[in-house]
Amino acid sequence: MGSTHALSGWCAGLAVAPALGLTTMPTLVFAVVVAGMALVPDLDCGPSTASRILGPFTGGISWVLRRMSRALYAVTKGPRDEDWSGEHRHLSHTFAFAGLLGLLTWLGTSSGIGRWVTLGVLVFGVLLAQAALGDWIALVGISGGVALSLHGFTAALDGTRPWLWIAVILGCVVHCLGDALTLSGCPFLFPIPIAGETWAELGSPRFLRFRTGGDFEARAVFPAFAVLGVLLIPGVWGLILYVFHNHNT
């Protein structure tokens, strides 16, 4: 579900940020954007949060994406691929799509209107994250953005630009991996043919998969990511160890 996708994106953002050399505030903004972008692949589903978030604008993008996915599936499906429409969990649920969207983000943020593109992607990411997880994550993103802007709004946007495309790719990849844990799997390796399927639904072993929106996701998967999402916040784990050490001494 959207909330689990967003929360797993938040965790992934917090985990990857140190490797990018980001300090505390940029880390929090990065994680919020990844959380939002983890909902983007579901633009191929009309009723999804991503498709409805900006009304007719994202609804129109969803309409175009679904038809592009349908057309691509029709001309690329292998001899063992199912006779499906090719809309949901196809084009936008691939690593190729994640890479393409990341490339477009990089090109857009590097263009003459790069600062406007950067601002647009940031706002879109925060809005998606807020829609899935609530106002707290929007508050985190906005607070982080304000803190980064203390040295100048333009400087903050320029500082965001080098990692924004990574946040887009990471969010989409996390979404695909999340769907790979569900019963339906996810064709994230398209267009690599696997056993006669161009759109092979890959995933974890069957006994480790769960039903989307089922009790296991609500009672085990989401709570696990919630705990991890707190522990990964910069400084939290160190604080826990400090308190534990003082308590035992």
pLDDT in tens, 59-99: 999 999 999 999 999 999 999 988 888 888 999 999 999 99
Q: How many CB atoms lie within 10 A of CB 75?
A: 8
Average pLDDT over residues 165-185: 94
Residues facing residue 194 across a β-bridge: 197
Give the three-state DSSP class for 216: helix
Chain segment 150-174, per-residue pLDDT in tens: 889 899 999 999 999 999 999 999 9
pTM for the complete prediction? Answer: 0.94
Total tally of structural domains belonging to the chain: 1
Residues facing residue 202 across a β-bridge: 186
Contacts 24+ apart (CB under 8 A), 84-88: 86/199, 87/44, 87/45, 88/42, 88/44, 88/45
Structural domain range at position 123: 2-248
